Amino acid sequence: MEYAVCAVPMWRSKRVLLVTAAVTACGAALLAWHAAPGALPAHWLSTRGWSPGLAFAVLMLGLACEYVDSSLGMGYGTTLTPLLLLLGFEPLSVVPAVLCSELLTGVSAVLMHQRDGNVDLRGDREARGAALTLSVLSTAGAVAAVVCAVRVSKAVLGNAIAVIIIAMGVITLATVRRRIAYRRWLMVLFGGAAAFNKGLSGGGYGPLVTAGQVVSGLAPRKAVAITSLAEAFTCLVSVIAYVMLGTHVDVVLAVFLCAGALMSVPLATMTVRRMPESGMRAVVGIVTCGLGALALYKAL
């Protein structure tokens, strides 16, 4: 069965065909919106500043960014947020909407990773323990970040985190063909730093946690799946905090982001399943180094 699945070219799989059909259906719906702008849903969206072109752009951004995130465990918020700002959305609208979409797609990605065999959270105690540890650290890191926000220079912290991310990317590349023994204390260290950084600056969680797990000895497939679960938990805590503080959530933006992002999840988990472990370690290392260099460039 495994051989039969892997023997089918990826572009001919049912998932690719279903996602293509979903994107086509969305495109057809947006064309209908353009052709009949006076229809009730189209008119309601138009009065809120939305156009068919903008809606399609948000859908495709959500799809592309989530594909990278669910495949490599990093890059969704880091890439998507500045692109949405360039499209003219307000920061206070972008952040809660991105968090809502990350929450939904994170849970979906974990379920698909479990189904595809990339991780076994029910039978693998190591993976389950790592997921639980990182989820708890997410909350603790957010609380610690709030306490220290007025005492720690964000610029200094940003530089330090960027250097750590680059270092872990280099280590990941240097150990592509080596089997590393699992060291939980190292994962706790990197997980705590990632959670603290996300709570303080709002980003940089994926590269730090995913590469940190790989450096700690977890297989890349497990690391990507566990990161999806831990980040979903982090987003849940953040969304609850936003709601309790009375922050307005742009529901329309969140819906379009979720629709686009959810379409990419089945493709992403299938990519993880079919990529050789050494190749995946190399890609994780390269992307981690790139995101770390970008973070360092922004911080300087």
DSSP-assigned letter for residue 38: T
Mean pLDDT of 2-14: 49
- Indicate the pLDDT class of residue 4, thresholds 50, 70 and 90: very low
Sole residue written with tokens 């990419």: 264
Closest listed residue to residue 230, CA positions, set 190, 286, 266: 190
pLDDT of residue 7: 42
- From residue 179, give the alpha-carbon distance in Å to each of 120, 130, 143, 165, 216: 20, 18, 35, 21, 11
What span, in angstroms and rounded, lies between the C-alpha atoms of 28 and 52?
Answer: 10
Predicted confidence (pLDDT) per residue in 144-160, tens digit: 665 565 565 656 666 76
The tokens for 28 are: 């057809």
Highest mean pLDDT among 205-209, 226-230, 289-293: 226-230
What are the pLDDT digits (tens) for 170-218? 777 776 676 666 777 888 887 877 777 666 655 667 777 888 888 888 8
Q: Which residue has the tokens 């909407």?
A: 97
For residue 204, the model assigns a pLDDT of: 66
Measured distance CA(215)–CA(225) in Å, rounded: 16
- The model carries a pTM of 0.76
When the pLDDT of each residue in the chain is averaged and rounded to a whole number, the result is 76
Asked if 273 and 71 count as a contact pair (C-beta separation under 8 A), the reply is no
pLDDT, residue 115, reads 87
Distance CA 130, CA 101 (A): 23
* CA dist list (Å): 280 to 37, 169, 211: 46, 12, 11
**Cβ contact 116:272 at 8 Å:** yes
Nearest-angstrom CA–CA distance, 22 and 256: 13
Among the listed residues 56, 63, 69, the one whose alpha carbon sits nearest the alpha carbon of residue 28? 56
| One-letter identity of residue 146 | V
Name which of 26-35, 46-55, 260-269 the model is least confident about. 26-35
State the alpha helices, DSSP H only, in 149-219: 154-174, 184-201, 205-215
Contact partners, residue 86, CB within 8 Å, separation at least 6:
none
